[in-house]
Chain A
Amino acid sequence: MNAIYEKPLNKILLVEDEEDIRTIAQIALEDIGKFNVNYCESGKEALQQALVFDPDLILMDMMMPGMDGVTTLQELRKYPSLEKTPVVFMTARAQTREMDEYIKLGAIDVIPKPFDPMTLAQTLRSIWEKAHGF
């Protein structure tokens, strides 16, 4: 069992450039999920924030201007403190083949867009628990 999962999911870094989606995801995670959420709008900001915020999990959009989700994940992994931080991608156009590719690259799961704001928090908890081996 990986030590990184041996605690309840609490701190989530939300990385999403689209304000319409970021705001609703933030409310869903904070108000419904009762998580401690920090957010940012780009991969570059995610690198900076992740180092300071030390999230339990990063929920990240795949398609962002500048660094996309995959590039950001690869950059995150260069920092020892973020080497094992679980990353969950959100994407609107993922085929099964692409989703498998994201998992191979180190994401622990992929949430398709549109996501359901009412169940987003529970979905993340389930992903976390599955990764924990509950």
Chain B
Amino acid sequence: MDSETKAKFVDLFEDYSKNLPEKIQYIDELAKRLQDQWDADLFSEFYRKVHSLHGSAGVYGYIVLKQLADGLEAYLKPFLASSVDLKALNFQKITSDINALKKAWHDTSSEKALSIFLKSNIITGDAGEKNEKNSNHRR
């Protein structure tokens, strides 16, 4: 990969990372709105946002976020079918999963995610795990 392409990837990564909290927050808001009042279109949007996070987080190196979003998506997917009883939707579990997403975002080092994203040890060196523990966690 040439330096120009790498710079483009790093820019994309930074944009994505900057917008991640907003994405998770929106998922949280949708879940709360659904809990207050059920709406099929809103549920579709909620599912799509979780699906989107699942797909994108992994691409950008946020592996734990990807795994958590995958789990939530797997839970939600059967409810897309019209024959499934929507009353069975467990909002306690959904809230817990969303809180786990928030925590994962908080705990994940962007340096480590970038390193995974670029498949290189240039950013964190061989001590990537150590750096993750010691890095400047957000907030």
Contacts and interface: CB of A to CB of B under 8 A. Distances in A.
Interface of A: 18, 20-21, 23-24, 27, 31-32, 63, 65, 92-93, 113-118
A93 B51 contact: yes
Interface stretch (B28-36, B58-66, B85-93, B97-105): B58-66
A31 B52 CA distance: 24
Contact of A21 (B4, B8, B55, B118): B55
B5 A32 contact: yes
Contacts of B70: 92-93
A31 B3 CA distance: 11
B1 interface: yes
B42 interface: no
Given A24-B12, A65-B48, A116-B119, A93 B54 contact: yes
Contacts, number: 60
Interface residues of B, number: 26
For the residues of A in contact with B, the DSSP-based class is loop
Contact of B56 (A20, A65, A118): A20
Contacts of A20: 12, 16, 52, 56, 59-60
Interface in B1-23: 1-2, 4-5, 8-9, 12, 16
9 contacts: A20-B60, A21-B56, A23-B12, A31-B4, A93-B74, A93-B77, A114-B58, A117-B59, A118-B119
